[in-house]
């Protein structure tokens, strides 16, 4: 039997990494089995629904490369069918009408002193439907169980479930009804979704069983994603939207790769790999049901690995979207791209690393300034000697001698002049580099210094060294 899966987002927010995690699992299962991956927009919650967010969800799926089969379907298009199915249950007696108000339900629960919830008050009252009556499902005795590819056999005792509402008193079908019926209608064979839906699954199954509809072969409830505090990722505390990661300069290859590693790992332990390889190796049956830590640091690491795998032209093209507009920034990047590509973890880190190449007044990291120039050993001597050596280099051959190699030679002489030599009399290059780097680029870290100064040019390098020396007094 061919596999049919679906991703069923509710357009109530930007695509969340937890949803993307489930979407990816669906996509992988479909693509590894030659099955179909369908998309259903669950847009029946009129209050929370924000249609303008559908486009964000689709755009993020496209960005991740999770292509779907056919056209997305909209749950709201089938509301009449959902209502009709509920009425069938009312006729068959598997559902009944109830006119209790929620105040009444609560008051009775208080009197009982038991758990809150509906007590079946109207089960045998034989009420007719109409204004102010809701339709409730008559939960049968017994157990409701299913095969969960992630959690094994899962079962609920039906006695723990109240007779839940199918149609609200205003006639609108509840989410669970629409959700279960649409899966049956679309021929979904495997329901792969977040673990927050486990508790709704018995109701989902009871509805389909009451209607004699074919139920999915299996479910897979994916682990919850949690932060370092082991708390569910939340919009308020954590970065949860895929769009934010894209804006930060995570590349889609890395995002997909990292999401695949949440709750799962390839058997050989090699984690950074292409989606094609992951598709071959992925095994939903091996997904760990315990909450998975969404580890930002690891995502950044995987992203850095992916950035380094890009051909340099591709890296430049993608990083360009994260630079300030204009020729200057792009030219600066092109001049030094391979060196930057080796050092960033996100595309967003590119601009601050090289902005000294296009800004007239580079941003100065005051902590770096203090460490390298105020408290640094022989900082004044280094700057004096650097101005001296680099000026003469700038004059040689009318500036043609200004190259990474000659600059490195000059800084070696600077170290010696400033007395920065070790016991064997060798120049201590990193001690000489630090004050020069901060004076010229404003920061303690960046691309290799020789190439940075070569790309910056002699006049701007010397001007910045001079200003820094004056500031130091
Ligand atoms: N629309 C539901 C959600 O966004 C998904 C339901 C499902 O996958 O069955 O949480
Ligand atoms: Zn009632």
The CATH number of residue 399's host domain is 1.10.10.350
Residue 62 shares a structural domain with residue 146: no
Residue 78 shares a structural domain with residue 218: yes
How far, in Å, from the CA of 13 to the mean position of ligand 2?
Answer: 34
The pLDDT, as a whole number, for residue 52 is 87
Residue 158 shares a structural domain with residue 265: no
Residue 196 shares a structural domain with residue 292: no
Laid out side by side, the sheet with 165-167 consists of: 95-98, 134-137, 165-167
The pLDDT, as a whole number, for residue 90 is 98
Residues by chain with Cβ below 5 Å of ion ligand 2:
98, 100, 121-122
Cα–Cα dist 280/31, whole Å:
9
Domain end call among 168, 198, 222: 222
Residue 64 shares a structural domain with residue 78: no
Cα–Cα dist 372/356, whole Å:
17
The pLDDT, as a whole number, for residue 403 is 95
Cα–Cα dist 50/71, whole Å:
20
Report mean pLDDT in 10-residue bins for the chain, 473 residues: 96 95 98 98 88 93 98 97 98 98 94 89 96 96 98 96 97 97 98 98 98 98 96 89 97 98 98 98 98 98 98 98 96 97 98 96 95 94 98 87 95 96 94 97 95 96 97 94
Q: Does ligand 1 come within 6 angstroms of the Cβ of 8?
A: yes
How far, in Å, from the CA of 438 to the mean position of ligand 1?
Answer: 51
Q: Would residue 168 be called left, alpha or beta, if left means φ above 0 and alpha means ψ between -120 and 50 degrees?
A: beta
Sign of the CA dihedral 175, 144, 184, 29? positive
How far, in Å, from the CA of 127 to the mean position of ligand 2?
Answer: 9
The pLDDT, as a whole number, for residue 59 is 97
Residue 178 shares a structural domain with residue 282: no
- Contact in structure between 214 and 183 (CB atoms under 8 Å): no
The pLDDT, as a whole number, for residue 364 is 95
The pLDDT, as a whole number, for residue 198 is 98
Q: What is the DSSP string of 392-444?
A: HHHHGGGGTT-SHHHHHHHHHHHHHHTT-B-TTS-B-HHHHHHHHHHHHHSSS
- Contact in structure between 262 and 21 (CB atoms under 8 Å): yes
453 closest CA partner among 370, 386, 397: 386
How far, in Å, from the CA of 238 to the mean position of ligand 1?
Answer: 21
Q: Does ligand 1 come within 6 angstroms of the Cβ of 197?
A: yes
The CATH number that applies at residue 111 is 3.40.50.620
Q: Does ligand 1 come within 6 angstroms of the Cβ of 223?
A: no
Domain end call among 359, 377, 397: 359
Our measurement of the distance from residue 293's CA atom to the centroid of its chain's CA atoms, rounded to an integer in Å, reads 13
Q: Does ligand 1 come within 6 angstroms of the Cβ of 44?
A: no
The pLDDT, as a whole number, for residue 272 is 98
Residue 330 shares a structural domain with residue 390: no
**Residues classed as catalytic:** 235
Q: Does ligand 1 come within 6 angstroms of the Cβ of 10?
A: yes
Q: Which ligand has the minimum distance to the alpha carbon of residue 126?
A: 2
Q: Which helix (DSSP H) or strand (DSSP E) does residue 319 occupy? A: helix 312-320
- Contact in structure between 219 and 146 (CB atoms under 8 Å): yes
Residue 280 shares a structural domain with residue 402: no
Sign of the CA dihedral 286, 287, 293, 295? positive
- Residue whose CA is closest, atom 6 of ligand 1? 8
- Contact in structure between 406 and 393 (CB atoms under 8 Å): yes
Residue 143 shares a structural domain with residue 189: yes
Report the number of distinct structural domains present in the chain. Answer: 4
Tokens for 159?
């006695």
Residue 214 shares a structural domain with residue 259: no
The pLDDT, as a whole number, for residue 45 is 86
Q: Return the ligand 1 atom nearest residue 179 CA.
A: 9
Q: What is the DSSP letter of 16?
A: B
Counting Cα atoms < 13 Å in the Cβ hemisphere of 327 gives 0
Residue 97 forms beta bridges with which residues?
A: 135
Tokens for 299?
């995502």
How far, in Å, from the CA of 175 to the mean position of ligand 1?
Answer: 9
Domain end call among 196, 222, 248: 222
Name the H helices within 12-114.
17-33, 54-64, 79-92, 102-112
Q: Which ligand has the minimum distance to the alpha carbon of residue 121?
A: 2
Positions of E strands within 288-354: 292-293
Cα–Cα dist 426/414, whole Å:
12
The pLDDT, as a whole number, for residue 377 is 85
Structural domain including 157 reads 74-222
Residue 216 shares a structural domain with residue 255: no
Q: Which residue bears the tokens 């001079």?
A: 466
- Contact in structure between 289 and 195 (CB atoms under 8 Å): yes
Residue 83 shares a structural domain with residue 215: yes
The pLDDT, as a whole number, for residue 49 is 85
């Amino acid at each position: 039997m061919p596999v049919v899966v679906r991703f069923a987002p509710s357009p109530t927010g930007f695509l969340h990494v937890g949803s993307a995690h489930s979407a990816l699992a669906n996509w992988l299962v479909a693509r590894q089995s030659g099955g179909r991956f369908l998309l259903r927009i669950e847009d029946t919650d009129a209050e929370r629904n924000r249609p303008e967010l559908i486009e964000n969800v689709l755009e993020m799926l496209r960005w991740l490369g999770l292509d779907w089969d056919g056209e997305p379907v909209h749950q709201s298009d089938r509301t009449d069918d959902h209502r009709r199915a509920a009425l069938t249950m009312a006729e068959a007696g598997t559902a009944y009408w109830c006119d209790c108000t929620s105040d009444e339900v609560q008051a009775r629960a208080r009197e009982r002193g038991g758990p809150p919830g509906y007590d079946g008050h109207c089960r045998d009252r034989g009420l007719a439907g109409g204004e102010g009556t809701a339709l409730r499902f008559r939960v049968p005795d017994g157990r409701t169980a299913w095969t969960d590819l992630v959690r094994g056999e899962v079962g609920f005792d039906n006695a723990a479930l109240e007779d839940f509402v199918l149609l609200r008193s205003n006639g609108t079908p509840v989410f669970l009804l629409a959700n279960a019926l649409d899966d049956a209608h679309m021929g979904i064979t495997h329901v792969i979704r977040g673990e927050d839906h486990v508790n709704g699954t018995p109701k989902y199954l009871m509805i389909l069983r009451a209607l004699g509809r074919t139920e999915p072969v299996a479910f897979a409830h994916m682990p919850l994603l949690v932060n370092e505090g082991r708390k569910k990722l939340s919009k308020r505390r954590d970065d949860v939207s895929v769009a934010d990661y894209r804006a930060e300069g995570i590349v889609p290859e890395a995002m997909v790769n990292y999401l695949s590693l949440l709750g799962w790992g390839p058997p050989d332990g090699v984690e950074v790999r292409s989606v094609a390889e992951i598709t071959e190796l992925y095994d939903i049956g091996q997904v760990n049901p315990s909450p998975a830590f969404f580890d930002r640091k690891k995502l950044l690491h995987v992203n850095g690995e992916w950035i380094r795998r890009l051909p340099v032209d591709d890296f430049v093209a993608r990083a360009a979207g994260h630079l300030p507009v204009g020729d200057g920034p792009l030219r600066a990047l092109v001049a030094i791209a391979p060196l930057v590509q080796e050092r960033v973890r996100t595309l967003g880190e590119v601009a601050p690393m090289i902005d000294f190449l296009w800004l007239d007044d580079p941003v100065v990291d005051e902590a770096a300034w203090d460490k390298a120039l105020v408290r640094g050993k022989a900082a004044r001597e280094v700057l004096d000697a650097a101005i001296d050596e680099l000026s003469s280099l700038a004059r040689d051959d009318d500036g043609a001698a200004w190259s990474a190699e000659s600059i490195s030679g000059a800084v070696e002489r600077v170290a010696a002049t400033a007395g920065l030599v070790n016991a064997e009399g060798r120049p201590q290059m990193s001690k000489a580099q630090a004050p020069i780097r901060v004076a010229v680029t404003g920061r303690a870290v960046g691309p290799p210094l020789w190439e940075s100064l070569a790309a910056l040019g002699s006049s701007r390098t010397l001007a910045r060294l001079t200003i820094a020396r004056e500031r130091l007094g």
